[in-house]
């Protein structure tokens, strides 16, 4: 083997990426972890209050917890959009249509969830008025509260989950198709997002309970494994597998 061949093979074995791409990979990994760390406890904080039988009497006295839970959801809502924003430059080079679709799905998902967060915050003044009026349980306060609570559920879970599943399938299909990460990681993601998509649709018909703590929570395990463990840690330590630019190889020769 000649010196030239050794240099070429060594060069081919290295992952050569720009500083911008490496920063993007680290940001994507960090955002996956941050959004999980914010949304999971945020969901359970809100659910513990809003699922109470006398929830409208509980919201205002627990105003701080409701605001904290909503803030944590809002961090998630913004973070998921920026995951797609940081991934877009790389994905666009590979398949622009799928990259735009993934970005659009994340923006749509984040917007829907912010509507749910707004509905949650509106429950605070409603609860205050309910308590001050000493209104009976069958009053219009409760009717309006049920509407806002349903809007919260649809925004943070019922409508956003199918969009998450669809967008996640676009993302993981690109990871699989272009071998950006090991096939095992992308397959777990494909399975996880497919389960989220079809499971959330099943939730519309009452076949499973997709709310946090419901019997549908187990179906989130594959996508949680992908988003919290497999992909972020791979990106932190290895990054996307991008082909080496031809001019780099020529330069090495």
Which has the closest alpha carbon to 165: 188, 199, 205?
Answer: 199
The whole-number pLDDT of residue 206 equals 85
192: CB partners within 8 A, 6+ apart: 168, 220, 221, 222, 223, 224, 225, 226, 227
Distances (CA, A) of 153 to 157, 161, 185: 5, 11, 30
- Rounded Cα distance between 242 and 252, Å, is 18
Domain chopping of the chain, boundaries? 18-241
Residue 228 CA to residue 164 CA, distance in Å, equals: 15
DSSP H stretches of helix in 55-182: 55-59, 63-94, 96-133, 140-153, 160-177
- Please give the pLDDT value at position 139: 80
What's the rounded Cα separation, in Å, for the pair 170 and 83? Answer: 14
Measuring CA to CA, how many Å separate 52 from each of 68, 207, 251? 18, 22, 67
Contact 126, 145 (CB under 8 A): yes
pLDDT value, residue 14: 61
What pLDDT is attached to residue 243? 56
pLDDT, residue 17, reads 78
Per-residue pLDDT of the chain (253 residues; tens, 9 = 90+): 444 333 333 344 466 778 899 999 999 999 999 999 999 999 999 999 999 989 999 999 999 999 999 999 999 999 999 999 999 999 999 999 999 999 999 999 999 999 999 999 999 999 999 999 887 766 888 999 999 999 999 999 999 999 999 999 999 999 999 999 999 999 999 999 999 999 999 999 988 888 777 777 788 899 999 999 999 999 999 999 875 443 343 343 4
pTM reported for the whole predicted model: 0.87
């Amino acid at each position: 083997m000649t010196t030239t061949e050794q240099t070429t093979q060594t060069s081919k074995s290295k992952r050569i990426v720009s500083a911008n791409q490496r920063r993007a990979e680290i940001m994507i990994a960090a955002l996956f972890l941050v959004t999980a760390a914010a949304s999971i406890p945020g969901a359970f904080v809100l659910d513990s209050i809003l699922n109470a039988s006398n929830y409208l009497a509980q919201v205002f006295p627990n105003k701080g917890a409701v605001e904290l839970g909503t803030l944590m959801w809002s961090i998630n809502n913004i973070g998921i959009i920026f995951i797609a924003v940081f991934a877009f430059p790389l994905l666009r080079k590979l398949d622009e249509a799928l990259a735009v679709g993934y970005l659009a799905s994340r923006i749509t998902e984040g917007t829907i969830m912010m509507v749910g967060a707004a509905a949650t915050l509106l429950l605070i003044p409603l609860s205050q008025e309910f308590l001050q009026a000493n209104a009976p349980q069958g009053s219009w306060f409760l009717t309006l509260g049920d509407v806002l609570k349903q809007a919260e559920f649809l925004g943070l879970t019922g409508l956003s989950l199918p969009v998450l599943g669809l967008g996640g399938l676009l993302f993981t299909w690109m990871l699989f198709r272009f071998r950006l990460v090991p096939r095992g990681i992308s397959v777990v993601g494909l399975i996880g997002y497919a389960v989220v998509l079809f499971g959330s649709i099943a939730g519309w018909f009452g076949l499973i309970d997709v709310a946090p703590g419901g019997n549908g929570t187990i179906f989130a395990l594959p996508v949680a494994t992908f988003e919290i463990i497999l992909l972020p840690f791979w990106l932190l330590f290895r990054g996307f597998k991008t082909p080496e630019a031809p001019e780099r190889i020529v330069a090495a020769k």
